[in-house]
Amino acid sequence: MFNKRLKIKALLASDDTGFEATVMGWVRTFRNNQFIALNDGSTNNNLQVVASLGLFEETTLKRLTTGACIKVTGEVVASLGKGQKVELKAASIEILGDSDAEKFPLQPKKHSLEFLREIAHLRFRTNTFGAIFRIRHSLAFAVHKFFNDKGFIYLHTPIITASDAEGAGEMFRVTTLPLDGSAPKNDDGSISFKEDFFGRSTNLTVSGQLEGELAAMAFSDVYTFGPTFRAENSNTARHLAEFWMIEPEVAFNDLEDNMNLAEAFIKYVIDYAMQHNKEDLEFLAQRLEEEEKQKPLAERSEMGLLDKLNFVVNNDFERLTYTEAIEILKESNHNKKKKFQYLIEGWGVDLQSEHERYLVEKHFKKPVILTDYPKNIKSFYMRLNEDGKTVAAMDILAPGIGEIVGGSQREERLDKLTARMKEMDIPAEELNWYLDTRRFGACPHAGFGLGFERLVQFVTGMGNIRDVIPFPRYPKSAEF
């Protein structure tokens, strides 16, 4: 019954007429008791289905409500309507699923993104979210294509781990122990995880990097692409508690190779979306332009979405050290006029997103790669530089987003790594397996992590990260 279905995208792409076709999809609108705008998700463009007057029972026509699912067979004919070459002249209409017009929350009008977030199970059926999730798909596909074409191995790292790869302590615990106070206890009153499912304390992974490094010491070039979890209480438009991260790890790469790989990667996936999602990007560009018109002139962005993406693909990212960035920030008028919430007074402080955005959006007006951060604000595994106070780290900052990539060359020297772990109170016994790579055939290597949702945000121009993942998880929210 269903296998003869023609996708609306394919139907609209050709100007062939005079043949019979069957389409299925959801009614967006039904006008004048005659014209159905039908969408099946293959494209944002609706197919116009014409239910000629007098041909269908009144009872059928009544059921052609917004949201209803139907199957239509008819002849593909040239369309007189504007904006489409062909339309379908319905010979038969079958209602596959009714949709009560009174109760269906999506009406053919503009809904706010906040409202749509509350009905995330239905928002796929809007133009905006149709476009976003087709682009998200393309970007995910492009990620795999980029690395596969370069001979990388896709590594599936564990979701449940016993380590805190970032050492930031922002982990969700995984346990089967009872929470009612009856969990087994140690002599000192603390919970005995020996009795827990894994016989130890476990959590959801914050990063697949450490396991990625193990595999890079055999395959040379690997990457992970999977969900990661952070219990940071950040209620912002750029943080999720569950997000997807891409983490390449490459043996024999130094920091510069790492930057080159990250820059080429970002340009490749953006270009891929521009080649394969033209219509959806144009739709979102238009949407953004209208949104921008609501803002005061001074706050509007100088470039439209497509110009911005083109610009990023075709221009080198600015590369500078943390130390140079601090100088720029310290000397900036913004700092002198005390416009930063956190004023830059000297070397060593962590950059806040206001500083990152100043560098990218005001100073350089392009993506920026910052390198060689103070060791005290970075993770234990980053390679110590000659100066003894900075590490071979790199963050990539993108306009409108801030940090999109975090990475580094790794500390491959066992003595330096264990010394650093000691300084940071990271117990070596727990990471013995990780240290083994430094004991047996260690080599210089580097990698980075790119937050997939931040990339999707950048490409779609969406202001809130909760709108680029199907079902966002954030503090006090895990619906659907």
Q: Least separation, in Å, of the C-beta of 207 and Mg ion?
A: 10
Rounded distance, CA 289 to CA 309, Å?
15
Question: What x/- string results for residues 353 through 392 when contact with ligand 4AD is judged by CB under 6 A?
Answer: ----------------------------------------
Name which of 470, 477, 449 is nearest 224 in CA terms: 449
Name which of 444, 440, 441, 415 is nearest 428 in CA terms: 415
Nearer to Mg ion, 89 or 454 (CB): 454
Stretch that binds ligand 4AD, among 121-129, 178-186, 400-408, 431-439 (CB under 6 A): 400-408
Binding of Mg ion by 447 (CB under 5 A)? no
Based on the number of CB atoms within 10 Å of its own CB, is 364 exposed (0-12), middle (13-18) or buried (19 or more)?
A: middle
Residue pair 397/360 in contact (Cβ under 8 Å)? The answer is yes
* Main-chain dihedrals φ then ψ at residue 353, nearest 5 degrees: -65, -30
Rule CB under 6 A: choose which of 305, 448, 456, 468 binds ligand 4AD: 448
Interface residues for ligand 4AD in 156-185 (CB under 6 A)?
A: 165-166
What angle (nearest 5°) sits at the alpha carbon of residue 342, between those of residues 337 and 346?
Answer: 85
The residue assigned the tokens 């234990």 is: 380
Residue pair 343/392 in contact (Cβ under 8 Å)? The answer is no
Stretch that binds ligand 4AD, among 74-82, 119-127, 280-288, 398-406 (CB under 6 A): 398-406
First to last CA, the chain: 31
Q: Least separation, in Å, of the C-beta of 161 and ligand 4AD?
A: 12
Burial profile 119-141: b = 16 or more Cβ within 10 angstroms, e = fewer: ebeebebbbbbbbbbbbbebbbe
> How many chain residues are in contact with Mg ion, going by CB under 5 A?
1
Name which of 160, 139, 147, 464 is nearest 309 in CA terms: 139
Nearer to ligand 4AD, 39 or 207 (CB): 207
Nearer to ligand 4AD, 67 or 472 (CB): 472
Q: Which does 30 bind (CB under 5 to 8 A by kind): ligand 4AD, Mg ion, none?
A: none
The residue assigned the tokens 């790594």 is: 417
What is residue 325's three-state secondary structure?
helix
Kind of pairing, strands 35-39 and 173-174? Answer: unpaired
CB hemisphere CA count around 319 (13 angstroms): 14
Nearer to ligand 4AD, 358 or 380 (CB): 380
Q: Least separation, in Å, of the C-beta of 168 and Mg ion?
A: 9
Stretch that binds ligand 4AD, among 28-36, 141-149, 342-350, 445-453 (CB under 6 A): 445-453
Q: Least separation, in Å, of the C-beta of 299 and ligand 4AD?
A: 24
Q: Structure tokens of 68?
A: 């209803």
Rounded distance, CA 395 to CA 378, Å?
11
Binding of ligand 4AD by 456 (CB under 6 A)? no
Stretch that binds Mg ion, among 86-94, 267-275, 327-335, 404-412 (CB under 5 A): 404-412
Q: Which does 217 bind (CB under 5 to 8 A by kind): ligand 4AD, Mg ion, none?
A: none
Interface residues for ligand 4AD in 305-324 (CB under 6 A)?
A: none
Interface residues for ligand 4AD in 197-256 (CB under 6 A)?
A: 207, 209, 230, 232, 239-240, 243, 245, 247
Nearer to ligand 4AD, 123 or 230 (CB): 230
Q: Which does 383 bind (CB under 5 to 8 A by kind): Mg ion, ligand 4AD, none?
A: none
Kind of pairing, strands 242-251 and 318-321? Answer: unpaired
Rounded distance, CA 394 to CA 253, Å?
13
Q: Least separation, in Å, of the C-beta of 181 and ligand 4AD?
A: 31
Q: Which does 405 bind (CB under 5 to 8 A by kind): ligand 4AD, Mg ion, none?
A: ligand 4AD
Please report, as a single letter, which amino acid is at residue 4.
K
Stretch that binds ligand 4AD, among 8-16, 50-58, 153-161, 404-412 (CB under 6 A): 404-412
Residue pair 250/216 in contact (Cβ under 8 Å)? The answer is yes
Rule CB under 5 A: choose which of 212, 406, 451, 461 binds Mg ion: 406
Binding of Mg ion by 74 (CB under 5 A)? no
Residue pair 207/247 in contact (Cβ under 8 Å)? The answer is yes
Stretch that binds Mg ion, among 137-145, 304-312, 355-363, 401-409 (CB under 5 A): 401-409
Q: Which does 404 bind (CB under 5 to 8 A by kind): Mg ion, ligand 4AD, none?
A: ligand 4AD
Name which of 62, 1, 69, 74 is nearest 33 in CA terms: 62
Name which of 365, 377, 442, 437 is nearest 408 in CA terms: 377
Residue number of the CB closest to Mg ion reads 406
Q: Which residues bind ligand 4AD (CB under 6 A)?
A: 165-166, 207, 209, 230, 232, 239-240, 243, 245, 247, 403-407, 447-451, 453-454
Q: Which residues bind Mg ion (CB under 5 A)?
A: 406
